[in-house]
Amino acid sequence: MMKKVLFFVACLLACNSLMAEDLMVNSPNKKMRFTLHTGKTLKFSVRAFGRAAIDPTKIDLQVDGKYLGAGAKIANSSIKEHQLSETPVVPVKFETVDNHYNELTVKFKSGIQLIARAYDAGVAYRFVLDKKGSVIINNEVFDFTLPGNPKVFFPTEESLISHYERYYEVFNMKNILAGTFCSLPMLNIVAGDLHVGLTEADLFDYPHLFLESNGKGQLVSKFPHVVKATVAEKGELGDRNEIITEEADYIAKTAGKRSFPWRVFPIAEEAGDLIEGNLVYKLSTPSKIKDTSWIKPGKVAWDWWNANNLYGVDFKAGLNNETYKYYIDFAANNNIPYVILDEGWTKSTTNIKEYAKDINVEELVKYGNERGVGLILWALWGPLNEDIAGTLDLYEKWGVKGIKIDFMQRADQDMVNFYEEVAVLAAERHLLVDYHGAFKPTGMEKTYPNIVNYEGVKGLENNKWSDEVTPTHNVTLPFTRMLAGPLDYTPGAMDNAHAQNYMIRFDRPMAIGTRAHQAAMFVVYEAPLQMMADSPSNYEREQKFTSFIAQMPTTWDETKVISGEVGEHIIIARRHGNDWFLAGMTGAEGMETAVALDFLKDGQYEAEILTDGPNAEMAAIDYLLKTKSVSKADELNIKMVNGGGFAVIFHKK
């Protein structure tokens, strides 16, 4: 009898092994391998640089109440190599993008497909559905499993209602308490040196992915459900904060024939390679805007952070035409193409079709046009959502160049659709879009390149009310939040102090770190629409420094990370046209280094070099600015203090 039982068990195991199948795809350089494990459950794993990067991770899609991946049988599969050359409308990192990958496509008899891509810089996968009509997506399973007990840079969230401006807490994976959850992107360091990021791309008509610890060293998927009803929060913030009172029991209702978002894993041995990988751009849908000639990125003179604090003028500064004309004059004098009219220009925060009594937008537009400066208008998302087309028609009639939309605070399917609707309608009216109070970018800015920035970052505005924006945080962001795309950090603070001298001041804010640390942000942080956050009066007092940062471009033809460690330092070189720009930032500890200039092309360059001054360890505002002639054969000896930095502009002779 025992022999029969053993024989029966052996047959079962043999049948299961026949049903289960592993399908693999390697990157072009063979250093990345994505493996799909099929059978009773659907899982994937990743090896990178000869070792485990992601352990078997369960994935699935629940459609109309049924999980389609569990036990699904393979109909067919294929692997193809793709090599494309793309020219971005808005070159955030490169003027030409080499999109080279190997792609595995697996079709299951259940009507679902899985597509996986292996790049030299990481891997990605997505589900594809082929069903008639509309479907309900009840859930998407993603049980993120990493080898060992990796170090995790974890953007903890307290609620799914959030501005997604997070400080990256550092944990070991197995120490994250059950129920603790985060937004994306996140970063993990596996086996001491393997950097494994996670974000998402090409996300439309679908909620954002969050991850929640199960307390067992694993992170599981968490999604906002479809919102059915909300009420305004009671109190003075009721114009912008809402409470969800009713949700559906599903995460999306959508078309049955569609692709779902890419789950994106940038992977690198060197932290800086994460930045150069550019995976979100490569995985996103190309531009749907036919005529993009009107899309002009650039810098913005910003009013809100500095609370319109002008001084040395012969009028009362504030929310009035005199103040904004001064901002326009400042922008024109420094070749800054835009001025933003932030909160306060409207008759009320909910009446965004009329301007306040001391503001005349059409007069300011005319004044700006005469000086080559365009205006961008701030608006709350709720009032805009009541009449998107009508409001944008009015702004187009006034002649403004763009809109900054604020306080979205959600990442569910309907909110994602709001972002797309605004982008489409704004593009039809030749308006740029800056999403503030926003979730992270997911590549929609490639599809609609009039989207020129997103916030979704704990940036400089937090200095008005907290001490959390530290140099360590600042040099964590390039390797974490910036993996998703552009970030509206809003640099340029002129009142600089080390932590022991820092004070929280809402109306006259300052920043932690040196003046050179702030200057470096204009090269390090990717932001096609880049704010200059401080007061024109402060900038004009130090015109030498202002002229230096004002000439920094906001788009880049080439990007090369020289060195970097998450939370410790970054040194990066970028090219715009014939000129090169080099910058570095440090966290809690300073550093001295020699930077080889071999990234330069042949010939001589005049280098404008801005560094921490000799007294910057005590007085964070201290900096030096000098010029010298250099070539690619030279190197620069750089010293950065704690919370320090440097920036260099190389003009081709």
Active site residues: 406, 461
- Pairing mode of beta strands 210-213, 181-182: antiparallel
Q: How many CA atoms lie within 13 A of 479 on its CB side?
A: 33
Q: Distance (Å, rounded) from C-alpha 236 to C-alpha 349?
A: 11
CB-CB contact of 512 with 499 (8 Å): yes
Q: Distance (Å, rounded) from C-alpha 342 to C-alpha 355?
A: 12
Q: Distance (Å, rounded) from C-alpha 278 to C-alpha 454?
A: 17
Long-range Cβ pairs for the range 11-19 (8 Å, 24+)? 16/40, 19/73
Angle among Cα 427, 430, 433 to the nearest 5 degrees reads 65
Query: If 0-12 CB within 10 Å is exposed, 13-18 middle and 19+ buried, where does residue 284 land?
Result: buried
Q: Distance (Å, rounded) from C-alpha 195 to C-alpha 537?
A: 43
Dihedral angle of Cα 512, 516, 518, 523, to the nearest 10 degrees = -150
Six token digits for residue 323:
């103040």
Q: Helix-strand-coil percent breakdown of the chain, rounded to 5?
A: 20, 40, 40
Question: What is the number of H-type helices and E-type strands within the chain?
Answer: 13, 37
Facing residues of 253 across strands?
Answer: 136
DSSP string computed for 411-470: -SHHHHHHHHHHHHHHHHTT-EEEE-S-----SHHHHSTTEEEE--S--GGGGGT-S---
Under DSSP, the state recorded for 72 is: P
Say whether 94 sits in a helix, a strand or coil. coil
CB-CB contact of 230 with 240 (8 Å): no
Six token digits for residue 368:
């700006």
The CA distances from residue 629 to 73, 454, 535, 571, 649, in Å, are: 66, 38, 33, 21, 11
Q: Distance (Å, rounded) from C-alpha 649 to C-alpha 653?
A: 12
Q: Distance (Å, rounded) from C-alpha 7 to C-alpha 625?
A: 82
Facing residues of 612 across strands?
Answer: 623
Six token digits for residue 78:
């294929």
Say whether 10 sits in a helix, a strand or coil. helix
Around Cβ 186, how many Cβ atoms within 10 Å?
23
Q: Distance (Å, rounded) from C-alpha 340 to C-alpha 319?
A: 12
